[in-house]
Amino acid sequence: MDFEQAMKRLTEISEQMNGAELPLEESMKLYTEAVGLVKFCKEYIAGAKLTVEKLEAE
């Protein structure tokens, strides 16, 4: 999965959770997935930032 796919999935999860009343089990499943995607995106951004800082230092 790449960053854009993760962001797209996060948007889908947000729409699902905001758009309908879901059973608690389904809400927890989506929330858990979202937490993992947010972690992935944060790590990706941190890596990209580090790459840019290294390039700027050259």
pLDDT at 37: 98
Going by pLDDT thresholds of 50, 70 and 90, the confidence category of residue 19 is confident
CB contact at 8 A, 33 and 13: yes
Domain that holds residue 23: 3-57
Torsion of CA 46, 47, 48, 53, to 10 degrees: 90
The 3-state DSSP class for residue 23 equals: coil
Q: What is the pTM of this model?
A: 0.85
Q: Helix axis angle, 3-19 relative to 24-57, nearest 10°?
A: 150
| Total of domains in the chain | 1
- Domain of residue 49, CATH code: 1.10.287
pLDDT at 24: 93
